[in-house]
Amino acid sequence: MTVDNLAQPARKHTEVAVGVLLRESDGALLISSRPAGKPYAGYWEFPGGKLEEGESVEQALRRELVEELGVSIGQAIPWKVTEHDYPHALVRLHWCKVTAWSGEFEMREGQQMAWQQLPLEVHPVLPGAYPVLQWLSEERGLVFDQGYYEAQQPKP
């Protein structure tokens, strides 16, 4: 262990379950805007949220999608795990694919949602979602251009 490690306790990860909802008819993906009052309000992201005490990723995702969008998901298929270090939190994102759900979409937190093809037309996109856009692009034989999304970030 280095002196740095002793001086600065490791930041604790915030575990987050995130759903990539894929529409069967055309492969469109669901993206939603972060509600007012949260960090990065107005940024577009994949729906999901933090795990609560004792919850599995699938349980948290199921709960969050009811709370945010009013839909009940079928199976959450674990896909990948990423980490992102934001000024407000060090997050570990558990990405799941979801291809089945029931219920009508309702924006229960005053957010917006959009079914999108790649590259996304909505902006700005939360940087923590870039890796997923890259994997989805690769799966579809498309080029992922991070610069396209970075250019749409608000200027400081």
Contact set with ligand 8GT (CB under 6 A): 16, 18, 38, 40, 45-50, 84, 86, 89, 91, 93, 126, 128-129
Q: Work out how close the CB of 93 gets to ligand 8GT at its nearest, in angstroms, rounded to a whole number.
A: 6
Complex with ligand 8GT: residue 55 or 99, whichever CB lies closer: 55
Complex with ligand 8GT: residue 4 or 79, whichever CB lies closer: 79
DSSP H helical ranges for the chain: 3-7, 57-69, 130-139, 146-150
Complex with ligand 8GT: residue 52 or 145, whichever CB lies closer: 52
Q: Work out how close the CB of 7 gets to ligand 8GT at its nearest, in angstroms, rounded to a whole number.
A: 25
Complex with ligand 8GT: residue 74 or 86, whichever CB lies closer: 86
Q: Work out how close the CB of 122 gets to ligand 8GT at its nearest, in angstroms, rounded to a whole number.
A: 12
Q: Work out how close the CB of 81 gets to ligand 8GT at its nearest, in angstroms, rounded to a whole number.
A: 12
Distance CA 69, CA 65 (A): 5
The residue type found at 57 is V
Distance CA 42, CA 60 (A): 22
- On whether the CB atoms of residues 73 and 100 are closer than 8 A, the answer is yes
DSSP H helical ranges for 2-145: 3-7, 57-69, 130-139
